[in-house]
Amino acid sequence: MKRNIRAMMLLLMLFSVLLPCLATRAVAAGEPQKQIKATLSSSDCGKCHETQATDVESAGAKHKTSVSCQDCHTGHRPASKNNIPACSNCHQGKPHFEQKVCLSCHTNPHTPLKVTFKTPMTEPCLACHSSQIKQLRENKSKHSAKNCTDCHDVHRKIPQCTQCHKSHSADITAADCKKCHKAHMPKVVTYASDIPSNYCAACHKTEFALLNANKTKHSTQACAACHQDKHKMVPNCKDCHGDKHPAGIMAKFPKCIECHKNPHDLNNWTAAPAAQKEAAPKKKTKKQ
Instruction: Supply the DSSP string of the chain, one letter for each residue.
Output: -HHHHHHHHHHHHHHHHHHHHHHHHHHHHSSPPPPPPPP--HHHHTTT-HHHHHHHHHH-THHHHT--HHHH----TTT-S--S--GGGT--SSGGGG-S-GGGT---TTSTT--B-SS---GGGGGT-HHHHHHHHHS-SGGGGS-HHHH-SBTT----GGGTS--SSTT--GGGGGGT-BTTBTTS-B--TT--HHHHHTT-HHHHHHHHHS-SGGGGS-HHHHHTTBTT----THHHH-S-S-HHHHHH--SGGGTS--TT-TTS--PPPPPPPPPPPPPPPPP-
* Mean pLDDT of the region 18-44: 60
β partners of residue 185: 182
- The answer to whether residue 283 sits within a structural domain is no
Rounding to the nearest 10 degrees, give the CA dihedral for residues 87, 92, 97, 101.
Answer: 30
3-class DSSP state of 154: strand
Distance CA 38, CA 269 (A): 94
Mean pLDDT, rounded, of the chain: 81
Average pLDDT on 110-134 reads: 87
Is position 151 within any domain?
yes
- State whether 98 and 147 are in the same domain: no
Judged against a pLDDT cut of 80, whether residue 39 lies above it is answered with no
- Per-residue pLDDT at 16 exceeds 80: no
Higher pLDDT: 153 or 243? It is 153
Write out the residue range of the structural domain in which residue 59 sits: 50-104
Instruction: Please state the domain count of the chain.
Output: 3
Considering the domain architecture, whether residues 206 and 260 belong to the same structural domain is answered as yes
Q: What is the C-alpha separation between 110 and 58, in angstroms, rounded?
A: 9
- 281 versus 226: the higher-pLDDT residue is 226
Point out which residues pair with 182 in neighbouring strands.
185
Q: In angstroms, rounded to a whole number, what is the distance separating the alpha carbons of residues 103 and 83? A: 17
Residue 211 maps to a domain: yes
pLDDT at 99 over 80: no
> Element (H or E) spanning 72, and its range?
helix 69-72
Does residue 215 belong to any structural domain of this protein? yes
138 and 100 in a common domain: no
Say if residue 126 is in the same domain as residue 147: yes
Q: If you average pLDDT over residues 200-207, what whole number do you get? A: 90
Q: Is residue 62 part of a domain?
A: yes
pLDDT at position 215:
84
Q: Before 263, cis peptide (omega within 30)? A: no
**Residue 8: is its pLDDT beyond 60?**
yes
Q: Is residue 149 part of a domain?
A: yes
Give me the mean pLDDT over the 150-156 stretch.
88
Task: Report yes or no on 13 lying in a domain.
Answer: no
Is the C-alpha dihedral spanning 264, 270, 274, 275 positive or negative?
A: negative
Residue 288 has pLDDT above 50, yes or no: no
pTM of the model: 0.56
Indicate if 93 and 122 belong to the same structural domain: no
Confidence at residue 110, expressed as pLDDT on a 0 to 100 scale: 93
pLDDT of amino acid 161? 92
Q: Are residues 230 and 259 in the same domain?
A: yes
Q: Are residues 197 and 255 in the same domain?
A: yes
Q: Indicate whether 253 and 226 sit together in one domain.
A: yes
**Does some domain include residue 120?**
yes
